[in-house]
Structure 1
Amino acid sequence: MQCFKNAEEISAVSVLDRAFHYGDGCFSTARIRNGQIELEALHLLRLQRGCERLYLNANLAFIQQSIQQLQQHYPQVNGTLKIIISRGDGQRGYSLPAQDADVWVFFYPKAVDDFHYEKIASGVLKQAMGLSMPHLVGIKSLNRLEQVILKKEADAQGWPEALVTDVQGSVVEGVSSNCFILINNEWITPELRYNGVHGVMRAEILARMQQHGISCRQRYVDMEEIAQFQSLFFCNALSPMKIVIQLDARLLDVQACIELFNRLQLNQMH
């Protein structure tokens, strides 16, 4: 793993960094292939929106400058990037320091290939997600405590991903993914008005569905509708489709997801 802060390689984080003290910042995780961030425009848009919501002034050009430095060390830059925007060092207290944010780029080298769908067993978690402050809904802030607790329950069940509901009884997403659901032969993705993350892969899949004339509604999905699920898959920037073959004790239709994967050509990202 290599780490860059504002395009300078670094191996330590300041003990005064507000990302450490308050989770004060946002982030995005992306695949990088041959030095090119896949779905780069969507990742940058998410970071820009996160910075706007959190009142962060960040120079996102540092991301590309960090990649250029990586290219001096690797013949091909392949793997995973985690891009963190932190408000930077600050004194004790919540008041915002008057300074530019820091742009951190973490690179995890790994061989990458075309995407493939996965088949997994999953279930509905018992612990529910809370409701977010409206100003923060949809952004991927550095505060991931809900996901940490939810992941513990999913791991205990042996589920690589699991369905998460909220305290109002609505289906939201996976622990670290968004989800798409087939009900009555109609594709649906939960509307994320009160919580959840506006994921990059979710946005890409919605755009491709529209291009192919495939209807997909964004609406609230009540917990009581889970029994009506025909198909379900999870998606994020590192995996476009985790197909759920079994949700708790019930088998789901896999073929509808495979057909969608092939039609949308989700093996290829740009």
Structure 2
Amino acid sequence: MTTPGTNTLIFRGGARSDAVSADDRGLAYGDGLFETLRAHRGTLPWWDAHWARLARGAARLRLRLPEQRQVRAEAAALLAQDPDAGVVKLIVTRGRGARGYAPAADAAPTWLLSRHPAPPAAAHGLQVRWCRTRLAVQPLLAGIKHCNRLEQVLARAECVEAGVDEGLLCDADGNVVSATSANLFVLREGRWTTPPLDRCGVAGVCRAQLLAPLQAHEARLDAAAVAAADAVFLCNAVRGILPLARLDARTWPPHPAVAAARRTLAQLHPAFALDLEHP
């Protein structure tokens, strides 16, 4: 049960807790997963898609999940306290464990729920740069949203230092993967293309929702292919579609195909209908 005015709830197994334990493996090793969901008027329209990705990650890591019904009920109660909250974040770790990497087979998962305001809609196209930080290739972790995000932390610091909105990341072989916190779509010869995420990167829920309606296909891209695109946008499940306006010296004016993609997304998630008010 939630406490009035509480923005973050902590659980160990199915029971409430006052704090994350010092020996929690999520704290020690990043041994866990997380999901960040966009809310709309006290609801979570893409809950099933987020939980499905969480379950895929848990199977990959052999990590126990809490009972979905309880998590969803607690998330609903948390939002009921503040129906205007725009974001709910769920973190699940393997739970407590002894020192050392070997995981305990019977550890009860630790999980946290928190609510946050929605980010402001982008009032203009993004200014982005290529990041020096490269993503390590690790197919065993590719696609899932695990808690080890130091590469993104380093890349995001580059963006802050450079004064740009976002940064694009390549893997160690020079293949374009994503932005620091969003997936990438490029328009070439009238068709949307997005990089595959079989070697590294996060398979975003928003990306998955857009693949079929945009008839997008997956293909490896290099930096030159992105710079030569007719239009480019980023997307994630919290901010929706974010058009690119500038990448280094290359600029893109607003494109009708991006506007059409945003209208498509507004039909898939009602929170993104407001984004249509911005170019």
- For the criterion TM > 0.5, the same-fold answer is yes
Decide whether the 8 Å contact of 1:117 with 1:242 is kept in 2: no
Q: Partner of 1:152 in structure 2?
A: 157
Check if 1:65 corresponds to 2:61.
no
Q: Partner of 2:274 in structure 1?
A: none
CA-CA distance at 1:65 after TM superposition = 2.9
Q: Partner of 1:212 in structure 2?
A: none
Q: Partner of 2:277 in structure 1?
A: none
Q: Partner of 2:241 in structure 1?
A: 241
**Counterpart AA for 1:242:** L
CA-CA distance at 1:269 after TM superposition = 3.9
My pick for the range that moved more, 193-202 or 34-43, is 34-43
Normalising by structure 1, report the TM-score. Answer: 0.88
Q: Which structure 1 segments of 5+ residues have no match?
A: 210-214
**Counterpart AA for 1:140:** K
Q: Return the alpha-carbon distance in structure 2 between the equivalents of residues 177 and 107 of structure 1.
A: 21
Decide whether the 8 Å contact of 1:85 with 1:101 is kept in 2: no
What pairs with 1:16-27 in structure 2 (closer than 5 Å)?
16-27=23-34
Q: Partner of 1:224 in structure 2?
A: 224
Q: Return the alpha-carbon distance in structure 1 between the equivalents of residues 148 and 75 of structure 2.
A: 26
**Counterpart AA for 1:221:** L
Check if 1:128 corresponds to 2:127.
no
Decide whether the 8 Å contact of 1:79 with 1:107 is kept in 2: no
Q: Return the alpha-carbon distance in structure 2 between the equivalents of residues 110 and 197 of structure 1.
A: 23
Q: Which structure 2 segments of 5+ residues have no match?
A: 1-6, 272-279
Decide whether the 8 Å contact of 1:63 with 1:105 is kept in 2: no
Closer, same or farther: CA 9–70 of 1 in aligned 2, 3 Å: farther
My pick for the range that moved more, 32-41 or 79-88, is 32-41
Q: Partner of 1:82 in structure 2?
A: 89
What pairs with 1:32-43 in structure 2 (closer than 5 Å)?
32-43=39-50
Normalising by structure 2, report the TM-score. Answer: 0.85
Runs of 4+ residues deviating >6 angstroms: none
Count of residue correspondences: 262
Q: Return the alpha-carbon distance in structure 2 between the equivalents of residues 166 and 41 of structure 1.
A: 30
Q: Partner of 2:266 in structure 1?
A: 265
Closer, same or farther: CA 254–9 of 1 in aligned 2, 3 Å: farther
What pairs with 1:89-168 in structure 2 (closer than 5 Å)?
89-110=96-117, 119-132=125-138, 134-168=139-173
- Secondary structure of 1:50's counterpart equals helix
- Secondary structure of 1:36's counterpart equals coil
CA RMSD of aligned residues (A): 2.4
Check if 1:179 corresponds to 2:199.
no
- For residues 70-122 of structure 1, the C-alpha deviation after alignment (integer angstroms, 9 at most, x for no partner) is 266x1636332111111100001111212244252332243689x77752111
